[in-house]
Structure 1
Amino acid sequence: MIGLIKAEYRKIFTTSLWWALLIPVVVLGFAAGWLGTAFGGIIDMVEEFSASLPLGLLSVALSTNFGTIFALLFGAMAFASEFRAKTITTTYLTANPRSSVLWAKLIACTGIGVLYGIANVLFASLGALLGAGHDMSNFGGFSSWLSVGGAGVLSMLLWTLLGVGFGALIANAVLVVILPLVYKFVVEFILSFSLLDTPVSGIEPYLPGSAGNGIVSNLAVPLFVSAVAGPNEPNTPRTAFELLHLFFGGSYGHPWWASLLTFLGYTAVFVAGGWFVGARRDVA
């Protein structure tokens, strides 16, 4: 098994996929941090808040929710690209049992998912810090930044592992790129708005994209409101939360850990599906 894991790391670092997808994660992270401060400038114009606005927390949430798609694509391509390059036969022949290939890829991609998560958090924080004029209060305290950042790394990791399972299940290098993009940015977007003000609107936080976004946003938004509103937090109108969730992801009143458990379930389903199909798929 150790040999398989080493082989997977060699495959990763001898190709350009890992750093090619890391670049947009870094760029989007920095841009989200910088734009978060611009959003803060607009709020300051209203002159309603005397407390410091910890917009860095929201910036990390925003950058994570955009950056996770690249983590998913990396995980999916780590498997599907072997079918495109016709190297999967050799990979399966050197592994016994065949399922050990999937576990080796999951372990190797775990490291890359953590790398993506840390890079995203650091560059989003750097962008927010520079945009705020080096104001550390932009993060609402070290513990708040650490908790949101940790959730961001965890979210990136789970999206990567889901991608591995998805790649093993579909095994088509074109479809594993197109389908996630279409679903996350088109299908679920339309579905979420279609569910508004309907009797089944409560299922929206349990959709895959919404659950994934909620891992960070359902933690960052309440922390942001708590830092701004202070003792008046219980009196904060629901519309304020909903407006923040609209821009930064997540769902009002839905705990972040519930989103984590939901998305963990989706990850397990795709990994199990990839294992079941991959163990029975004919390869040439």
Structure 2
Amino acid sequence: MIALIKAEYRKIFTTSLWWALLIPVVVLGFGAGWLGTAFGGIIDMIEEFSASLPLGLLSVALSTNFGTIFALLFGAMAFAGEFRSKSITTTYLTANPRSSVLWAKLIACAGVGVLYGLANVLVASFGALLGAGQDMGNFGSFGSWLGVGGAGVLSMLLWTLLGVGFGALIANSVLVIILPLVYKFAIEFILSISLIDTAISGISPYLPGAAGNGIVSNLAVPLFVSAVAGPDEPNTPRAAFELLHLFFGGTYGHPWWASLLTFLGYTALFVAGGWFVSTRRDVV
């Protein structure tokens, strides 16, 4: 198994896929961090807040929720790309049992997912720091930043693992790119809008995209409101929360850990589906 994991790491780092998808994660992370806190500085001047708004927390959440799609694509292509290049045949012939290939890929890609998550959090935080004029108050307390950053790394990791399972399930390098993009940015968006004010609107936080976004946003938004409102947080109108969730993801009143458990379920489902199909698929 160790030899298989080493082989997977060699496959990853001898191709351009990992760094090609890391670039947009870094660029989006820096942009979200800088723009978020720079905008907060304008609000500070206009509204004359007595303390800095901890918009750095929201910026990290926003950059994470944009960046996770690239982590998913990396995980999916790490598996489906082998079917395109036909290298999967050699991989399966040198691995016994076949299922060990999936586990080796999950372990190797998990490391890259953590790398993506750390890069996103650090670059978004750096961008937020520059946008805030090096004002550390834009991150709230160190514990708040650490919690949101940790959730961001965990989210990126889980999206990567889900991508590996999805790639094993579909095994088509074109479809594993098109389907996630269409679903996340079109189908789920339309579905979420159509569920508003319906009898089943309560299922919205449990949709895959909403659950994945909620891992970070359902932690960052309450921390932001708590830092701004202080003792008056319970009196903060629901509309304020919903406006923040509209821009930065997540769902009002839905705890971050519930989103985490939901997305863990989706990840396990795709990995199990990928394992079942990949161990029975014919290869040439």
Task: Please report the TM-score for the alignment, with normalisation by the length of structure 1.
Answer: 0.99
> Could you say which residue in structure 2 is the equivalent of 1:5?
5
Moved over 3 A (4+): none
Q: Secondary structure at the match of 1:223?
A: helix
In structure 1, the partner of 2:232 is 232
Question: Using the alignment, how far apart are the partners of 1:121 and 1:269 within structure 2?
Answer: 27
Unpaired stretches in structure 2, ≥5 consecutive residues: none
Deviations 1:232-270 (A, max 9, x none): 000000000000000000000000000000000000000
| Contact residue 41 and residue 132 of structure 2 kept, 8 A | no
Does the aligned pair in 2 maintain the 1:51–1:227 contact within 8 Å?
A: no
Q: C-alpha displacement at 1:37, in angstroms? A: 1.6
Q: Deviations along 1:91-149, whole A, 9 cap, x unmatched? A: 00000000000000000001000000000000000000001000001100110000000
Give identity over the alignment, percent.
88
Matched AA of 2:97: P
Match of 2:259 in 1: 259
Pair 1:103 & 2:103 matched: yes
* CA apart distance, 1:51: 3.0
- 5 Å-filtered alignment, 1:133-282, equals 133-282=133-282
Amino acid at match of 1:20: A
Is contact 1:49-1:228 (8 Å) kept? no
Match of 1:89 in 2: 89
> What is the Cα deviation at residue 39 of structure 1?
2.8
For these two proteins, the number of residue pairs brought into alignment is: 284
2:79 aligns with 79
CA contact 1:33–1:131 (8 Å) conserved in 2: yes
Q: CA deviation at 1:70?
A: 0.2
- What is the distance in 2 between the residues matched to 1:256 and 1:103? 27
Confirm whether residue 67 of structure 1 aligns to residue 88 of structure 2: no
Amino acid at match of 1:70: F
SS class of match (1:134): coil
Distance 2:62 2:13 in 1: 28
Say whether 1:20 aligns with 2:25.
no
> Given the superposition, is the C-alpha separation of residues 212 and 184 from structure 1 closer, same or farther in structure 2, using an over 3 Å criterion?
same
Gaps of 5+ in 1: none
The 1-side partners of 2:99 and 2:39 are apart by: 48
What one-letter code is carried by the residue in structure 2 that aligns with 1:221? V
Query: Partner amino acid for 2:177?
Result: V
CA RMSD of aligned residues (A): 0.9
Deviation string for 1:165-197 (max 9, x for gaps)?
A: 000000000000000000000000111111111
